[in-house]
A and B are shown apart, each in its own frame.
Chain A
């Protein structure tokens, strides 16, 4: 019996159209746009100006606090503009635009393909270097990695969990990366283990990726303390709390930090980026992006320089199909629908999903028939129908008591609802309102 999390969950059609597409590097874009707020936390401070020349890996924006991240130039060339531009959702933020000339890298970066296994840096130095390299959670959360590796003093990490579940339908960037660079990922795990001082790593992979499980198991034998854990395919297994429950059989208490269970969770793509930063001096300047959809001509897993426009990458993948009606940044369960395709690909972009007219719209909303399917599906053990109703009626006190703030926003409730009710939309509104009330209560 394969492990999985214990409460709720769904199993949508997997649609892993690009599961067998190897990571393919794409041409360097002629121009890149780098948004300063592409991570969680404070936006970075721009340290270049129009006319400056930069190389690949040159620091162009500095972290502006502890929870913030450095940003490096993904191309060599000249800064042509520092200005506010619209992101994928139409919101404006400061952006550095660089015109590409050639492909000249900073001299310190080791571009040789050799695997470097020996870890020479101390834990302190590793964390510092991860921060310098601007690494953030690459699964989509974009939380600065160095912050996550520095838990509050009262918690002592005992185990590293690497999230290679890729539980969202359609996405395969982690899958392709595991097949391409298993050793680099495993060395990255060893580095992270040293940084947080643990002896054990579990890499959780869902069993819809048997080739990745087999390959990593074969390679992991050479590394001390790394165990591959095959998991039963179920969404949202990649949720931090669900993954800890699936692997360690421990549930993070309501309101507590995940590290209170002793586990620190990192995405598999992040482990790869850590390898490159520590062993090869390479800051985060590119990533793997799945471009997929039922009607796109050349779906695939592309290694992309950050800052390339979404439209350019979609054109490389065969262009927008005629019947395209919706473009999603990320997976179909938690990804966001974009309105501006000319915005750049950022650190958190795991995939671009193109849906046709038929799949772009929701079904007609019918009355709640109280079937309880949302309760059955909720991985946090909440009552989504009730939370949505309370939020709809502005009954925020009761919503708080019913634990609306524990909602992950995974979407299992809305996915399962036979009446197509916008359950999660109402819960989001209520959750924001309740969080606002809690904050103002703390202030007074």
Chain B
């Protein structure tokens, strides 16, 4: 009998890379359901277009440009497509979605060497490329639950963050926070439902697909920073009564609006573009949190999560180089 001989270990944990990808896809399904409920057919068209064009782009590039065996089955292109779709308004024309997908897969992923080698999160590169190239299309936000059966002709309005930016933090008192929890707000189609996004987070933690370090450090940083800003504003205006409540509401709105939850839980935790050690992840998360608040507060855009994550993606190799795990015997 021929015995197989190979070096130890002889057993494997049976968690595969594609299982990780599909788990994240499953975790995003509750948020997708919320999106379909509030944005209707547009959400469906944009998301499916994005997924399909990412798969096709990856397949064609691998088969005809790189001449390697296509690996679309590993789930990474589907996930990129799903995340890109989630980061777009639900009334975006199909041709723009396709351009975004091609940029995400072709430039951000394949040009760097494919899965595992890209420096920047592909879905975010696609989104930011579209935001800069098609600013008008990318800032028309369909109103939630108003025109479920219309697509590019959906009725639009401003997002919460842009109103906050224009009208100042006094606007906070008019926000119905429970709308933010369930997703009854304008915005990119997948970012709106806070509860749904958190359900997916719990699932990913339970399956040990991601660790808590990146999302928690981002959310904690944004909350603390925004709370301090809100409090400072009130106190400098000598509004001592209700200052704490105001600051708390302001910070909570910062957490639940815009792309923060989607970004912190699903985009910043992208394995390839985030640091390898838990200490490094916390540094990275704090960086994203600070940059997000800085851009939201003082930058030219009302929302800064995508930029913050991409900037910290650029720091990831540096973080990996300087922040080492706690070594055994060097306490």
Contact = CB atoms under 8 A, between A and B. Distances in A.
Query: Is B truly associated with A?
Result: yes
A326 B328 contact: no
Interface stretch (B91-99, B109-117, B159-167): B109-117
Contacts of B6: 326, 337, 361-362
Contacts of B65: none
Interface string A1-41: 00000010010110000000000000000000000000000
Contact of B12 (A363, A366, A382): A363
B178 interface: no
Interface in B114-134: 114-117
A334 B9 CA distance: 6
A381 B211 CA distance: 17
Interface residues of A, number: 67
Interface stretch (B40-48, B257-265, B271-279, B299-307): B271-279
A379 interface: yes
Given A334-B8, A415-B11, A415-B12, A370 B329 contact: no
Interface string B7-19: 1111111011101
Contacts of A231: none
Contacts of B13: 10, 12, 415-418
B17 A369 contact: yes
B208 to A, nearest CB: 9
Given A376-B211, A378-B325, A416-B15, A359 B3 contact: no
Nearest to B16: A418
Interface string A318-333: 0010001111100011
Contact of A254 (B3, B7, B9, B329): B329
B1 A382 contact: no
A370 B271 contact: yes
Given A337-B3, A372-B277, A411-B8, A7 B15 contact: no
Contacts, number: 160
A326 B4 contact: yes
Interface in A301-345: 320, 324-328, 332-339, 341
Given A12-B11, A418-B20, A383 B325 contact: yes
A325 to B, nearest CB: 5
B116 to A, nearest CB: 4
Interface of B is mostly: loop
Most buried by B among A12, A336, A373: A373
A385 B325 CA distance: 13
Contacts of A375: 276-277, 325
A335 B9 CA distance: 7
B5 interface: yes
Given A369-B115, A371-B271, A380 B328 contact: yes
Contacts of A334: 8-9
Contacts of B116: 367-370, 419
B47 to A, nearest CB: 23
A324 B1 contact: yes
B63 interface: no
Interface string A397-416: 00000010010010100111
B237 interface: no
Contacts of A425: 7
Given A253-B329, A254-B330, 8 more contacts: A326-B10, A362-B12, A376-B211, A381-B325, A383-B277, A411-B9, A416-B15, A420-B16
The 4 closest A-B pairs by CB, nearest first: A411-B9, A367-B116, A381-B327, A371-B271
Interface of A: 7, 10, 12-13, 89, 169, 241, 245, 251-254, 256, 320, 324-328, 332-339, 341, 353, 355, 359-363, 366-373, 375-376, 378-383, 385-386, 403, 406, 409, 411, 414-420, 424-425, 428
13 contacts: A12-B13, A324-B3, A327-B3, A333-B10, A336-B8, A337-B4, A337-B10, A363-B16, A369-B17, A375-B276, A381-B328, A418-B13, A419-B116
Interface of B: 1, 3-13, 15-17, 19-20, 74, 114-117, 211, 271-272, 274-278, 281, 324-331
